[in-house]
Structures are given as structure tokens and as C-alpha cells.
Amino acid sequence: MSQAHWTKFEKETEEEVKNLVKQISGIQDEEDQNFQLALKFTWSNFRFHRFLDANSHKVQRSVNGIYEKLMVHSDLSKAESWVRLTEEFLNSPLPNTDGIKVWLDKKHTEWSEEESEDEDSQQPLSREDSGIQVDRTPQEDQEKTVPVTWTVGEPDARTWLEQHVVTPYWQGHTPRFPHSLHLHSNLLNVWDQHLYNTDPLYLPEEKAFVTETQVIRETLWLLSGVKKHFIFQHQDGKVVVRNDVVVTHLTNNCLRSLLEHIAVYGQAVFRLQRFIDEVTGYDTEPCPPGSYSSKQGTEPPFRTYQAFVWALYKYFTSFKQELTTIERDLIGKDETVTLAGVLDRLSPHLAQIKVLHKVFCTGVAEVPPETPNVVRASHLLNTLYKAIIEYDSVGEASQQAVALLFSLWTETVRPYLEIVDEWIVHGHLFDPAKEFIIQRNKDVPVNHRDFWYATYTLYSISETVESEEKLSDAASGSSGGEQASRSQLTMVSFLKPVLKQIIMAGKSMQLLKNLDCKEAEQTDDAERKSLYTLFLESVQSRLRCRDDSPTDTVTEQQATKQSLIKMQSIVAQHLQMDDIHDPLLAINFARLYLEQSDFHERFSGGDVIVDRSSESVTCQTFELTLRSCLYPHIQKRYIECCGNLMTTLKKDYRLLEYLQAMRNYFLLEAGDTMYDFYTAIFDKVLEKESWQQLAFLNVQLQEAVGQRCPEDSSRLSIFLETIDPVRKKQPVNNLDGLTLSYKVPWPVDIVVSSECQRIYNQVFLLLLQIKWAKYSLDTLTFSGRSSYLGVLGHRDYGEPINQQIHRMFLLRVKLMHFVNSLHNYIVTRILHSTGLEFQHQVQEAKDLDQLIKIHYRYLSTIHDRCLLREKVSFVKEAIMKVLNLVLIFSDRWQVGFGAWKIGSIDKMESDFKNCHMFLVTILNKAVCRGSFPHLESLALSLMAGFEQC
């Protein structure tokens, strides 16, 4: 290149290059051949080799790094000098120029542009042979860089930014920005021209041109929760796309389709972010679960929603970090960043946002506003639970969704497990927002006899009608379990298998706390691990050792792997991977534990070694995970609480002694004691004296009991209930209304309730009636029969008097056989054998509710086998007729033959035979059907007596 065309800058550079060659080579003669070769080599390097411009950010980072190093080493004076000298150097003006370090960057750029222009003029680009179109963009349309010196903090700083940094595309009518005239960069114009040529009615519309970079940035801003945009706009809570926004290299329909696809996810982010703001009270950062920060005058959100929002917040924190990373790459311009590439990079996150939004809509948004908190919390947890099962059934295709949902569920369930933990450990159901499915009835004190039945209410939601129903706490235990199962009611799904244990443990612990027993003392909370912590640690243990799960299979290749890494390394690895196809649990710990302060204290301190084979763990056994990681802890606490309560009731409150006392007096197992009592009544009846006096009855009872069991004499009492006179028309009904009462102290009266005493009294009355009939026949004597024969000798009875007396003796024997058979059946087959079975079951009872059911079942069994059930009342009526006949027969025996006609003997024989035949027939049929096997002994005994008739 001729020096005549050189610029002043190039001439000055030529002189500097010559001086450089002279200094390095030592050759002073410029005409020397070696000098010319060195000069040519140097110019070649300057012109054709790439020398990067100084990067001010890297220089500043290096300067700051040296300063920090000096500060770390406590060289304060050196650090101060370093900062002062570097600032003076960087801010000092260059020789023969105006300006500071910014001018250097601009000047260097000008040199590069001039060089490239000069090179392009020397070597014109030819692309005809390659098939690549040459970019014919006019130079005058290209934006030129204007050297400007500007310092941050000047008054017109914002104006300078608006004019020089970026084209204000958000303004209404911005001038069309310069761009390449390449065919691919003008697809919009080509398409508009095509539409104009083919459609006579086509009218071009006013358009707002943006670049793809601007579209990417607004996409990132939209997904990060920013509400004010140009391309995307919020209208009535919905995200819409402007109609007039275009890019030069895409058609309008193509761009709009893409932006509307993005707007859907932006709408999801907007709804989720709004929900987070509502729950957290529009604070800058949400608080962890358990603390409220709500707006004034509104009810704070319940803890389950807070925990759910906390999980969402932590997810969006990591998601926004990914958006920030993409935006930083976009600013750096080290690589080409396209909208398609950004969407592909965000595709796993967008899929997760879709899952989150679906769960939010189903579990939160679609719930009616006036729905109680208990229904809201149950519905949200059920939605997450069902979503995990649903996505998990797909397999590996939805592995990330399952991992996300499990992480979300694990966080959301924290308040529920904390409520359970407080209840089963301290006996206190702390639920101020009434979100737990079991709620305390404040009207019933703990020391009330109805505490076990009426203290708590179990809320269940029907899937068909979605209405709130209340079931008494007994429905989960003693009285209504079968009915509850038939009604198809649902509650929090994950608690169903252990709901009964939770209820029993909670009530038992509360009862223990009020009994002031040693078994209720627990370890200090500072030393005790909560139920939630135990659950997480069990999941951690399940992650480390898959052999604990019965469905997990470990191949030989996995078992022989020797690479063991720590848990923290796995977590870090999962967080750094872009395309995550990890097992469920490892991802969860990355999310759950890194934010928790006690994670490093608990897991990083020890040698927590995790086999790499554990990365194949998935959530295909979610229910098994709960069964192995959560339920055993609840079951263990249930066994401890209920076992302590049962031990306390048996040892300190003499539960077994009171149950035995009920059998002694109501079921007449204390035979000698109760014999003295009821025979006194029977003797009064035989002597035709009045016995229905409370003073007489209580004196007889106290005398009979006080001699043998003085402690029980103060607890036992007798009452006479008013009975309809119609019911007393038969002699056997004279005992009706006689009621025994036993004062059972609290808390034993929870087992021996007033309802139980009512059943005891029904059996007690039946036994008294049988004893009365037996006593009446047993006390008949044969002495004095000769006087009756003398009286009857002059009267004509149609048959010899000896034959009539013989008939009376035979009828007495038949009646005695019937009554004794019935008495033996009741006393041996029913009371004794059933009582032995009951005592064994009481010893095996694990909780109070089970004991209540055992006792109630025992009474029901006795009630049924004594034929007191309404369904077999006709059998009891036949028995009562025979017993009534016995009393009439005994009365006439005592009076003598002269007081009644011989025809009544025929009627008594006929009535007894009919009742006897009826009972034998009925009992045999029942035994043959197998419906009442316990009646077999009674049926055989009565049949033997019937054959002798």
C-alpha cells in the first residue's frame, strides 16, 4: 500500500513500528535487508493478527481482586495505595487526546473499523459460488457509534441512556430501526408484499418493530413476575399479546402464535405470584410457615396455605435464578441467543409451571370462597397426593413432575404433621385456624364421662356432593365405624391408614396429662425430634438404602458399584444439571434442605455416604414411602401413648377390678353375696308381704355386700323405676323396675358408661326372673300333702285324687327341668364362657377405644345370647310364659288344692306343652341353620325334657 494514501495515524504508527524494530533488533540502518524483513513481519502481525480490545470489566475485576487479596492479608496501607494509584491511572487523560478511559475504548473501536473497511476494500467478498446471499445492507442505514464522554451521576444521565443505549421501542411511534437487508431478515416484508399482491383488500397496518433480543428480554421479565411490559399486557388479570408487535424475520401469525404460547405460562406465573402475594400479605419476602404477615383487618391465612406458598416461593426463587442466568448470557453476547433456544432451555421449567398451575387451580382457585379452612386444607393436600399418584403412573416421562409434586407435598404437609405431633406428644390439639380434620369441642372438659365420645369432631368431605359432614369421634372407634365406611366419605388421603391411631394416641395423651401419671412425662422438646423431622430423616434413610423397601430391586451391577459420594455432592450435582432426569428423592433434598439451617448440622457433620445406585429411586412407590417413612413413627407413638394409658388405668385406677365388680353384682357372679340379697326379696313374695320399698331393698343390699366387699357397699344402690301397670299383669313382671346402680369413678366410667349399665340391668332383671322361678320350685315341700288329701276326699274331681296329685308332681318336675336347663345355659354357656373370653380380650387390648369396643361387644353378646334382642322377642315371650307359669304353679302349690279347680291343672299342662314344643322347634331350626350355635346346648336339653312329656 502506497504511503501517499496513508492517514496521519498510519504514518505515526509507521514511525513507532520502526523505533520498535530498532530497539529490539539493534539494527539502525533502515535500508538494511534484515531491517526491512523485520519491519514487514511486524506490520504483518499488526494488520492480520487479532488483538482483543481491553475489557474494562475484566480489568476492574482484576483490580478489585488484588485489593481484596491485600485486605485479606491485612496489608491495609498497600490496599489503600493500590486503589488510589489505579484510580488515578485509569482516570488520567491519554496523550494528545481529550477525555478519559471511555475515549480509549471508542478510539480503539474506530481503528478496528477503519482497518476492516480497508481490508474489505482490498479483498472484496465474493459469495456467488457458495450459494450464500451477500448482505447488501446500505452503509448509511447502519447505526454509527458516536464518541461521547459521559459519567454516571450527571443530571442528564437518564436522557443520555434513552438516546444512546437502546431504541425506545415501547413508545407509540418509534422510528424504524436499521437492520440487515438479508432475505432471511426481511421475511415479514416479503410476506406482506405477497399478501398485498394476492389480496386486493389487504391493507397494511401500523406496526411496532422490535428485535428478537427485546422479545427474549420481555419473555424473561414476564416469566419472572414483572407486570408492566410492552409486548405482553395485563388486561383484567389476564396476560395478552399486542396485535401490532412484529419482528422483521418472522411473519405476524408465527410471532403471535409463539407469543401467545409464552403468554399462557406468563398467566400461570402471574396467578401463582398473586396467590403468593395474597398469602404473604404483599411483603417483599414471604415468611416461613408458622408466622403471619398479613394485611390489617383480614384473617391471616391458615398454616397449610402458608406452607404451600413457602414451597412455591422456593421453587420460583430457583426459577428466577435460571431466568437471570439466561438474561446474563443475553447481555454478554458471547453466544447467539434465540427465542427458540431460550424456550427450549426453559422447557423443563415451563412444564413444571404447568403442573404447579394445574395443582393450584384444582386445589386452591376452584374452591368456593366461603369454604371452611378444614375443607380447603384437606382438598389441597388431597390434590397434591392424587397428582403425585397420577403423574407417577406415567413412568419416567413425568419423573420431573413427580419430583416437583413430592417436594411441594412434603412442604405443604408440614403444618398437618406438626399438629399431629403436638397432639400425640403433648395431648394438645393446637389448631387455631381450624384447618385440621379433627377439631376440639371446647364444651366438654377432659374429666367428663363423655370426654372420649364427644370431645372431638371428625370432618369428612364427600366426593360426590362436596358437602361438609360431621361424624362423632365414636364413628372412628366404637359405635359407627361400619356406617362411616359405607358412606364413601373422604378425608386427607395420606392419613387414612393411621387416622385411628392418631385419634387414639391424641386422646390418650390428653387423658394421661390430666391423670397426672408418671407415664405422661415425656423427654424435653429440645432433645426430642418432631414427627416431621423423623419423617424427613426416614426418607433420607430410604434414599441411602433401597434394600429397606420390599419393592425395590437392586441389580448385581448396582450392588458392586464402589463410588460413594456425600449427600451434599449429590444435591449440588442436581442443582447444576440443566436437563434433569434424576430420581425423585435426591431432587427433593436439594430443594428441601439447602434452605434449612439445621441441614448442614445434621447431615454434613457425619459421614453420610450415599451409593450412586440410589439415584435410580423414583416415586413409583409413593404410598410405600409413606408406609415405611411416616406411618411407623405414628404407630410407635400410638403404642407408647395407649400402652401407658392402659397401664395407668389398670394399675392406678383399678379398671379390671371395676369390670369384675360389674359382673359380680349385675351378672350375679358373686353368687353367695347376691343370693342373700335376692332370696330376701323372694321370701317376702312367698310370705305375701310387700317388698317394693327402697329402704328394705337398700338395707338388704348393704347387708349382703358389706359383709364380704365393704368397699363396694358405698358404690352399690338399688332403685325402683315406675312401670306401666299394664306390664305388671303377670306375676313374672312384678320384678320389672328393679334397677341396680354402681358408681364408677372417672376415668373408668368412660368404659363403664350409663349405656353399659342399662344393658347390665336388662341381663340382671332376666337373671332375677330365672332365679325367682328356680327358687319358687326349689322351695316347694312335700310335707302336709296328707291334709290336702283329707280335704279333697269328699269331692268329685272326675279322677282319683292320687292321680291328680301325681300329675302335679310330674308337672313340677317338668317345670324344674325347664328352668334348670335355662338357668344352666345362661350361667355356664353364656355368662361364664363369655366372661372368660372377655377377660382374655381385656388383657390384650392395646388402647382405650379397643377396650371400650371389647366391653361393648361383650355386653352385646350377652344381650343377644340371653334372647333380649328385639328381633327374637317371640322366643323370650315363650320363655316368660313358662316362667310365669312356674310362679303360678308354685303359688297354687303353696295355697293347696282346695283353693282352685282341677281344670287349671289341665290348662297349665297344656300351656307348658305348647310353649315347650314351640321353643324346641324354634331352637332346633336355629341350630340347624347355624345362625345361633350357642343355643345348641339349650335346644338339646329342652328336647330331652320334651321327649319325656
What digits encode the pLDDT tens for the residues 546-571?
Answer: 544 444 433 433 433 333 334 434 44
Q: Work out the percent of the chain whose per-residue pLDDT is above 70.
A: 71
- Tell me, what's the pLDDT at 780? 82
Q: How far is CA 430 from the centre of its chain?
A: 17
Q: Return d(Cα 843, Cα 854) in angstroms, integer.
A: 11
Confidence of residue 152 (pLDDT cuts 50, 70, 90): low
Q: At what angle do helices 252-280 and 212-223 cross, to 10 degrees?
A: 20
| pTM: predicted TM-score of the whole model, two decimal places | 0.65
pLDDT average, residue stretch 99-114: 46
- Count of H helices and E strands in the chain? 36, 12
Residue type, 468: E
Beta bridge partners, 687, equal none
At 302-340, the pLDDT tens digits run: 899 999 999 999 999 999 999 999 999 888 888 888 899
| The pLDDT of residue 763 is above 60 | yes
- Tell me, what's the pLDDT at 305? 92
Confidence of residue 617 (pLDDT cuts 50, 70, 90): very low
Cell output for 180: 440487515
Q: Return d(Cα 944, Cα 949) in angstroms, integer.
A: 9
Peptide linkage before 368 cis (omega within 30 of 0): no
Beta bridge partners, 739, equal 719
| The pLDDT of residue 298 is above 70 | no
pLDDT average, residue stretch 250-256: 86
Beta bridge partners, 438, equal 458
330-to-164, 165, 258, 269, 325 alpha-carbon distances in Å: 19, 15, 19, 22, 9
DSSP state of 547: G
Other CB atoms within a 10 A radius of the CB of residue 207 amount to 16
Other CB atoms within a 10 A radius of the CB of residue 296 amount to 5
Contacts of 264 (CB under 8 A, 6+ apart): 239
| Better pLDDT: 456 or 568 | 456
| Better pLDDT: 305 or 192 | 305
Instruction: Tell me which of 64-73, 300-309, 432-441, 596-605 is least confident.
Output: 596-605
Other CB atoms within a 10 A radius of the CB of residue 577 amount to 11
Paired sense of beta strands 438-440 and 245-246, if any:
unpaired
| The pLDDT of residue 121 is above 50 | no
Long-range contacts from 450-454, C-beta under 8 angstroms, 24+ separation: 451/507, 451/511, 451/747, 451/750, 452/507, 452/511, 452/750, 452/848, 452/849, 452/852, 453/478
What is the length of the chain? Answer: 949
151-to-88, 103, 148, 159, 161 alpha-carbon distances in Å: 16, 12, 10, 13, 11
- For the CA atoms of 773, 779, 784, 789, what is the dihedral angle to 10 degrees? 20
SS3 assignment, position 209:
strand
DSSP state of 243: S
**Contact (Cβ atoms closer than 8 angstroms) between residue 392 and residue 620:** yes
pLDDT average, residue stretch 335-355: 91
Q: Where are the alpha helices (DSSP H) in 248-367?
A: 252-280, 303-332, 339-360
| Better pLDDT: 257 or 615 | 257
Q: Return d(Cα 535, Cα 349) in angstroms, integer.
A: 28
- Tell me, what's the pLDDT at 417? 92
DSSP state of 174: P
- Tell me, what's the pLDDT at 485? 36
**Contact (Cβ atoms closer than 8 angstroms) between residue 348 and residue 400:** yes
| The pLDDT of residue 640 is above 70 | yes
pLDDT average, residue stretch 926-938: 70
Other CB atoms within a 10 A radius of the CB of residue 618 amount to 19
Other CB atoms within a 10 A radius of the CB of residue 220 amount to 19
Cell output for 659: 369390670
Domain ranges of the chain: 9-47, 58-83, 188-283+301-397, 653-945
Q: Return d(Cα 828, Cα 770) in angstroms, integer.
A: 14
**Contact (Cβ atoms closer than 8 angstroms) between residue 679 and residue 775:** yes
Percent helix / strand / coil, the chain, rounded to 5: 65, 5, 30
Confidence of residue 796 (pLDDT cuts 50, 70, 90): very low
Q: At what angle do helices 414-426 and 373-392 cross, to 10 degrees?
A: 120
Residue 240, phi then psi, degrees to nearest 5: -125, 165
561-to-358, 416, 613 alpha-carbon distances in Å: 40, 39, 8
| The pLDDT of residue 396 is above 90 | no
SS3 assignment, position 224:
coil
Q: Return d(Cα 214, Cα 644) in angstroms, integer.
A: 69
Residue 683, phi then psi, degrees to nearest 5: -65, -40
- Tell me, what's the pLDDT at 173? 60
In order, the DSSP letters of 925-940 are HHHHHTS-GGGHHHHH
| Better pLDDT: 157 or 584 | 157
SS3 assignment, position 528:
coil
- Tell me, what's the pLDDT at 592? 44
Beta bridge partners, 224, equal none
Q: Return d(Cα 733, Cα 880) in angstroms, integer.
A: 9
Instruction: Tell me which of 485-489, 627-631, 712-716, 784-788 is least confident.
Output: 485-489
At 404-421, the pLDDT tens digits run: 888 899 899 999 999 999
In order, the DSSP letters of 365-393 are ITS-TT--HHHHHHHHHHHHHHHHHHHHT
- Tell me, what's the pLDDT at 782? 64
pLDDT average, residue stretch 703-719: 88
| Better pLDDT: 356 or 177 | 356
Residue type, 35: F
Q: Return d(Cα 702, Cα 710) in angstroms, integer.
A: 9
- Give which of 125, 83, 338 is closest to 211, Cα–Cα: 338
Instruction: Tell me which of 110-119, 848-857, 902-911 is least confident.
Output: 110-119
- Tell me, what's the pLDDT at 168? 72
At 266-282, the pLDDT tens digits run: 999 999 999 998 888 74
Paired sense of beta strands 456-462 and 468-472, if any:
antiparallel
- Give which of 872, 874, 873, 942 is closest to 912, Cα–Cα: 942
Residue 385 burial (CB < 10 Å; 0-12/13-18/19+)? buried
Q: Return d(Cα 273, Cα 222) in angstroms, integer.
A: 11
Cell output for 363: 386445589
- Tell me, what's the pLDDT at 548? 44
Q: At what angle do helices 414-426 and 499-515 cross, to 10 degrees?
A: 40
Contacts of 401 (CB under 8 A, 6+ apart): 351, 352, 355, 391
Confidence of residue 906 (pLDDT cuts 50, 70, 90): confident
Q: Return d(Cα 501, Cα 643) in angstroms, integer.
A: 12
| The pLDDT of residue 737 is above 50 | yes
| The pLDDT of residue 354 is above 90 | yes
| The pLDDT of residue 141 is above 60 | no
pLDDT average, residue stretch 615-619: 39
At 42-101, the pLDDT tens digits run: 888 877 776 666 778 888 888 888 988 888 877 888 888 998 998 888 888 766 555 545
- Tell me, what's the pLDDT at 885? 86
Beta bridge partners, 241, equal 232
**Contact (Cβ atoms closer than 8 angstroms) between residue 209 and residue 236:** no
Confidence of residue 223 (pLDDT cuts 50, 70, 90): very high
| Better pLDDT: 310 or 904 | 310
Q: How far is CA 619 from the centre of its chain?
A: 16
Q: Cell 523485520 identifies what position?
A: 38
Class of the 653-945 domain?
Answer: mainly alpha
- For the CA atoms of 767, 773, 778, 779, what is the dihedral angle to 10 degrees? 110
| Better pLDDT: 175 or 748 | 748
Confidence of residue 624 (pLDDT cuts 50, 70, 90): confident
- Tell me, what's the pLDDT at 856? 92
Greatest alpha-carbon pair distance for the chain in Å reads: 185
In order, the DSSP letters of 244-265 are SEE-TTS-HHHHHHHHHHHHHH
| The pLDDT of residue 292 is above 60 | no
- Tell me, what's the pLDDT at 172? 62
Q: Return d(Cα 27, Cα 904) in angstroms, integer.
A: 163
SS3 assignment, position 554:
coil
| The pLDDT of residue 798 is above 70 | no
Q: Sign (positive/negative) of CA torsion 339, 341, 344, 350?
A: negative
- Tell me, what's the pLDDT at 418? 93
| The pLDDT of residue 236 is above 70 | yes
Residue type, 922: I
Residue type, 423: W
- Tell me, what's the pLDDT at 391? 83
| The pLDDT of residue 188 is above 50 | yes
| Better pLDDT: 752 or 783 | 752
The chain-wide mean pLDDT, for the chain, equals 75
At 799-838, the pLDDT tens digits run: 667 777 787 888 888 888 888 888 888 888 778 888 889 9
Confidence of residue 743 (pLDDT cuts 50, 70, 90): very high
Other CB atoms within a 10 A radius of the CB of residue 321 amount to 10
For the chain, how big is the Rg over CA atoms in Å? 49
